[in-house]
Amino acid sequence: MEEKDKKVVVEKALEAKTETDTTLENVEGLEATPEIISREKLLEAGVYFGHRAYQWNPKMKQYIYGKRLGIHIIDISKTQKALEYAYKILYKMCQKSAISFIWVGTKKHAKKAIEDAAMRTNSVYVNERWLGGTLTNSQTIFKSVKELERLEELQKTEYEGYSKKEGLLFDKKIAKLQKNLNGIRKLATKNSLPQVMICASPIDDEIAIKEAAKKGIKIFTINDTNSKPDLSDFVIPANDDSVKSITLILTVLADAICAAKGNPELFAYKKDEEIILPEDPKKDPNKKNFVKRPFMKKEADDAQTSSTDTSTPATETKTVESKPVETKVEVVKEEKPVKETKKITKTTKKEEATEELKVEKPKKTTKAKAEEKLEEVKETKKTTKKTTKEKATETEVKEEKETKAKTTKKATKKEEVKE
């Protein structure tokens, strides 16, 4: 199909609808047009994969086809209609007047696709980190862009008049600002906000969507089964965790802008053979996921006891020959043996050396330690009992003496009174 025929079909379809109609139900009334992307290609890109059923958002129920093995499946027919409708809206918007766009996607799956689409359409993008207040407090962002330009000019002069340490600090600051502000530099030069936002990860970039809604910017989003469709004006239900799915949808939206400006399209209204999708990054099978476990004292004690129990049967025995009687001396080897003596004797030219005898002090097991503690506790109890008995006897003796002294005093007083 030629480009002229496409434009005619799009114009006829949009004449039947007003600019305010933004729901998916209105798409069904449009004239029959060739498929913007075939269902086979959407299936190949994995657009229909949703999230697990317990993670779903009930507001996305109208876009869900069903559930399979605990995972929600997105209705591809609704994805196809929504994508075609978004394409036509963007095409007509760009035909009428020059509109500025901002592409947002900080998720790792969407970073490259966002940058490529923004470069094709010559627009602003954010794919590293959304700085709070980029739209609502844009003047501070413009100041930081000017600061970046000033530092870059200093870098060209190799920081004349500054020390090496200050130069290194400037380099770090430049790298940080370039990472966060490279895509937004054009906003500072124009000193104006964009009119349309296209977001690939509405959950990760919720702050950006809220700022755009406050400023009255039109929002196009790729919504998975766990996202909120409330703030977005144009919802495209699709998988937002796949590189193939995100690149397919974003390139189609970029094709609408390019087609309105007279530039060639890449994916829209193309055959399946002409559409080449990137591969999803594969997980490294050799990568190990380490799980930190809290250290427990009981587990450590059990490990020590098990090591001592297993080490006892595997002890090595060495025989020491003596003239009158042959005796066997068992030597236990543990993890950290304590070497007391080494005896090496050299005899004759053959240099026959006697084997080293390592006399080791066996470690005390946890059971032995516990028994020792119990004995200590018993001894302390005995001593405390003895001390309490001695104190009791001392108090009794004192009381007897006091009572005797009182009785003697009373007797003497009575005798004096009688006299």
Please list the residues that pair with 234 across neighbouring strands: 220
What local confidence, expressed as pLDDT, does residue 7 receive? 42
What local confidence, expressed as pLDDT, does residue 297 receive? 55
Distance (Å) of CA 249 to CA 131, 145, 256, 409: 25, 31, 11, 115
The tokens of 403 are what?
A: 């009572």
The tokens of 125 are what?
A: 């993008």
Indicate the burial class of 288 (C-beta count within 10 angstroms; 0-12, 13-18, 19 or more). exposed
The tokens of 52 are what?
A: 């697990």
Which residue is listed with tokens 């066996």?
A: 362
What local confidence, expressed as pLDDT, does residue 24 receive? 40
The third-level CATH classification (topology) of the domain covering 3-134+193-260 is Rossmann fold (3.40.50)
The Cα 139–Cα 317 span in angstroms is 83
The Cα 292–Cα 152 span in angstroms is 44
Mapped onto helix, strand or coil, the DSSP state of residue 192 is: coil
Mapped onto helix, strand or coil, the DSSP state of residue 370 is: helix
Nearest to 36 by CA among 90, 102, 101: 90
For residue 240, report the phi and psi dihedrals to the nearest 5 degrees: -105, 15
What local confidence, expressed as pLDDT, does residue 216 receive? 93
What local confidence, expressed as pLDDT, does residue 281 receive? 74
What does the DSSP assignment read for 239-293?
A: -SS-HHHHHHHHHHHHHHHHHHTTPPPSSTT--TTT--PPPPPPPPTT-------
The Cα 75–Cα 65 span in angstroms is 5
What local confidence, expressed as pLDDT, does residue 304 receive? 60
What local confidence, expressed as pLDDT, does residue 29 receive? 42
What is the chain's pLDDT, residue by residue, as a tens digit (419 residues)?
444 444 443 344 334 333 334 444 444 444 445 789 999 999 999 999 999 999 999 999 999 999 999 999 999 999 999 999 999 999 999 988 888 999 999 999 999 999 999 999 999 999 989 999 999 998 888 899 999 999 999 999 988 888 999 999 999 999 999 998 988 888 877 778 899 999 998 999 999 999 999 999 999 999 999 999 998 999 999 999 999 999 999 999 999 999 999 898 999 888 888 888 888 777 666 766 656 666 555 555 565 655 555 444 443 434 434 444 444 444 444 444 444 444 444 444 445 444 444 444 455 567 677 778 888 887 787 777 667 777 777 788 888 888 888 888 778 777 777 66
The tokens of 292 are what?
A: 């930190």
Q: Supply the pTM of this predicted model.
A: 0.60
Question: Which residues lie below 8 Å from residue 414, measured CB to CB, with a gap of 6+?
Answer: none
Three-state SS across 108-149? CCCHHHHHHHHHHHCCEEECCCCCCCCCCCHHHHHHHHHHHH
Q: Is the dihedral of CA 14, 18, 23, 29 positive or negative?
A: negative
Pairing relationship of beta strands 317-320 and 71-74 according to DSSP bridges = unpaired
Question: Which residues lie below 8 Å from residue 155, measured CB to CB, with a gap of 6+?
Answer: 170, 171, 174
What local confidence, expressed as pLDDT, does residue 379 receive? 79
Counting other chains too, the contacts that 28-36 makes at CB distance below 8 Å and 24 or more residues apart are 28/81, 30/85, 30/88, 33/9, 33/84, 34/1, 34/9, 34/269, 35/80, 35/269, 36/80, 36/83, 36/84, 36/87, 36/252, 36/268, 36/269
Gyration radius of the chain over CA positions: 43
